[in-house]
């Protein structure tokens, strides 16, 4: 089972702080049934340091005992606009055309029109766009059809497993996150469930989510 979104690299963002913690997370991922990981540190302020993140990836890979690790980024759309779209060629999943894109939590429906334009340009560069945790975005919480619009425009959607607990922080919308995620599962919107792990504990939610939900929209009662 592949985890396409986690913050396991040591000392580069708000995830693992040390190599020791990264290795503890790796063991927790294995225990949760994960067989390969895409390491996706934040590409957004204040964390983004491209060279440092790649160095952290090589360090972790050297200590991972051959466990399959792939480098990627969770790219915030506002940060990408500031960097320039040509940076997409350095921020996709290494060795793949997949591109993990984070939208803004507080964006409105008008902002989504601009997002679709940027997504179209990224697709024109040859990338398969994966939208990180759409259940957190307030515009989608208000109007879930925005998520299906993203799908129709060729995007894949990724649920972050912490939706089971209402997200990591109250600022994400609490119960609205879980309600929106269940709606998107029922509407067969998600292509991926990811841990979005920032620490060892987050893999418990991942294990429960993949055992409870599938990616065709049906789910068991919680």
pLDDT in tens, 30-84: 999 999 999 999 999 999 999 999 999 999 999 999 999 999 999 999 999 999 9
Q: In the chain, which residue ranges form alpha helices assigned H by DSSP?
A: 19-31, 50-63, 77-83, 88-91, 109-124, 138-142, 145-152, 175-186, 202-212
**220 found inside a domain:** no
CA distance 40 to 126: 20
**205 found inside a domain:** yes
Please tell me the predicted confidence (pLDDT) of residue 174.
59
pTM for the structure as a whole: 0.94
Q: Which among 210, 136, 222 has a CA at the least distance from the CA of 176?
A: 136
pLDDT in tens, 116-132: 999 999 999 999 999 99
213 pLDDT band, cuts 50/70/90, is: confident
**103 found inside a domain:** yes
Per the structure, the count of domains in the chain is: 1
CB atoms under 10 Å from CB of 178, counted, come to 18
**64 found inside a domain:** yes
**113 found inside a domain:** yes
CATH number at residue 207: 3.20.20.140
Domain that holds residue 129: 2-212
**218 found inside a domain:** no
**217 found inside a domain:** no
């Amino acid at each position: 089972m592949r985890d396409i979104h986690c913050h396991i690299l040591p000392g580069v963002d708000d995830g693992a702080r040390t190599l020791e913690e990264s290795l503890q997370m790796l063991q927790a991922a294995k225990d949760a049934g994960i067989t390969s990981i895409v390491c996706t540190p934040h590409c957004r302020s204040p964390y983004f340091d491209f060279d440092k993140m790649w160095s952290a990836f090589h360090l972790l890979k050297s200590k991972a005992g051959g466990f399959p690790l792939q480098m990627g980024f969770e790219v915030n759309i506002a940060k990408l606009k500031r960097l320039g779209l040509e940076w997409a060629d350095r921020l996709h999943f290494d060795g793949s055309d997949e591109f993990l894109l984070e939208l803004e939590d507080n964006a409105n429906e008008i902002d989504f029109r601009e997002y679709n334009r940027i997504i179209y340009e990224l697709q024109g560069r040859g990338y398969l766009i994966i939208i990180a945790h759409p259940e957190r975005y307030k515009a989608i919480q208000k109007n879930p059809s925005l998520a299906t619009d993203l799908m129709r425009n060729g995007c894949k959607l990724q649920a972050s497993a912490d939706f089971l607990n209402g997200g990591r922080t109250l600022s994400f919308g609490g119960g609205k996150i879980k309600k929106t995620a269940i709606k998107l599962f029922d509407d067969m919107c998600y292509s991926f469930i990811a841990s979005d792990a920032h620490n060892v504990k987050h893999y418990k939610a991942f294990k429960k989510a993949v055992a409870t939900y599938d990616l065709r929209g049906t789910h068991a009662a919680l």
